[in-house]
């Protein structure tokens, strides 16, 4: 099986030894507490689950700047985005050597992790601006990732962590949330060697379904990992439980048995386009996948990135920095000429009128009105799940 990133073995930071866990929970009661933002809490979950192997915790300022500028830490580890814990209020933790990280996403803010404090550094405005622009490619506050990153706090708290739980993810999504360790184990138990990963924060329509099948056939894969983001999204994105139900229905009805794993991971969407695409590749390598599908505007938002920027960034990565391979996909749509889903680059003789294409707004409007989507665009069983969601949303809005 493909090796984890930067290590011979996965390095999950979850504390699964009962005695050690109980001791840390007792210690946490006497430690100063810090309530991080949702992004830092999601970083802790990813570190705990082994997805961010080989990192041992949150980066210091030098590493965060080096990663933003050069996609590598000060020690030379290839890494695409800063993994940080930031706050605007450090009064409670000044001088502390160890702190309890509290969960901002669970009622009562229980202890999420224990962090060793190696340093608390104030981020100069110029360096925060540099990190933001290098990571997101823009400083525009209308970019949701920029807005979140800018507001995260001027103090950076670095150091290794021991993670005590997976926040709300394993409770809210018990059938879907999986750690990198669990995914590796299941890939191994299924006897898969070549595995294609498909990243999604949205429901999957016909084009996405066929793209997974195209990529799988092209690389002679044993299976596909459909890996959905379960964390915080921007306003208007479809909730994880609805996506989960729609994707599972599609896989159940339209993929051969034992060819797809439907799983999810606990992370907040960055909307960082090219840089986030590389991060997706890093942690899919950690799950044991050999290939990652990167499509048009992968991990993008609005018009902040070019359609193929997330593919082109992989041409700039040093040779050997990643073991996982990228399947570069074009936009896919149903061809009325050929009566099947195709990638646009494979249909140069087509005009826009030859494809079944619906805007996101049109899809939402049709579903909210109870109108069926064209079967060439979406499987009817999937559309029905989405229709129920949008009709409920519409009813709530109209009172």
What distance in Å separates the CA atoms of residue 10 and residue 398, rounded to the nearest whole number? 50
Angle at the Cα of 235 (from 90 to 333), degrees rounded to 5? 130
Candidates 98, 190, 193, 201; catalytic one: 201
Task: Say how many residues make up the chain.
Answer: 399
Residue 216, phi then psi, degrees to nearest 5: -60, -45
**Beta strands 332-335 and 355-356, pairing class:** antiparallel
- Determine whether 202 is an active site residue: yes
Candidates 98, 193, 202, 388; catalytic one: 202
Active site residues: 201-202
């Amino acid at each position: 099986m493909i090796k984890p990133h930067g290590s011979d073995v996965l390095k999950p930071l979850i504390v699964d030894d009962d005695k050690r866990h109980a001791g840390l929970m007792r210690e946490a009661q006497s430690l100063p507490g810090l309530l991080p933002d949702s992004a830092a809490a999601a970083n802790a979950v990813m570190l705990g689950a082994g997805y961010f192997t080989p990192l041992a915790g949150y980066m210091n300022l030098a590493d965060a700047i080096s990663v933003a500028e050069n996609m590598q830490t000060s020690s030379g580890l290839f890494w695409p985005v800063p993994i940080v814990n930031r706050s605007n209020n450090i009064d409670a933790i000044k001088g502390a050597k160890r702190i309890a990280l509290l969960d901002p996403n669970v009622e009562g803010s229980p202890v999420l992790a224990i962090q060793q404090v190696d340093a608390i550094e104030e981020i100069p405005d110029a360096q925060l601006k540099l990190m933001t622009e290098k990571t997101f490619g823009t400083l525009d506050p209308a970019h949701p990732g920029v807005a979140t990153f800018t507001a995260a706090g001027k103090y950076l708290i670095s150091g290794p962590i021991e993670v005590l739980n997976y926040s709300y993810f394993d409770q809210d999504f018990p059938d879907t949330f999986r750690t990198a360790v669990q995914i590796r184990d299941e890939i191994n138990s299924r006897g898969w060697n070549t595995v294609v990963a498909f990243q999604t924060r949205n429901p999957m329509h016909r084009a996405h379904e066929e793209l997974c099948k195209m990529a799988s056939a092209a690389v002679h894969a044993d299976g596909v990992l459909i890996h959905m983001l379960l964390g915080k999204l921007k306003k208007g994105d479809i909730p994880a439980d609805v996506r989960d139900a729609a994707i599972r229905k599609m896989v159940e009805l339209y993929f051969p048995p034992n060819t797809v794993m439907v799983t999810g991971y606990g992370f907040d969407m960055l909307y960082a386009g090219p840089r986030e695409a590389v991060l997706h590749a890093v942690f899919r390598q950690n799950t044991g996948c050999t290939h990652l599908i990167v499509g048009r505007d992968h991990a993008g938002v609005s018009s902040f990135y070019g359609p193929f920027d997330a593919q082109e960034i992989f041409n700039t990565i040093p040779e050997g920095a990643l073991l996982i391979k990228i399947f570069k996909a074009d936009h896919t749509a149903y061809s009325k000429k050929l009566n099947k889903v195709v990638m646009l680059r494979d249909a140069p003789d087509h005009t826009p009128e030859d494809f079944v294409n619906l805007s996101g707004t049109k899809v939402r409007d049709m579903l909210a009105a109870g109108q069926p989507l064209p079967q060439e665009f979406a499987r009817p069983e999937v559309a029905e799940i989405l229709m129920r969601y949008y009709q409920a949303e519409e009813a709530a809005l109209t009172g």
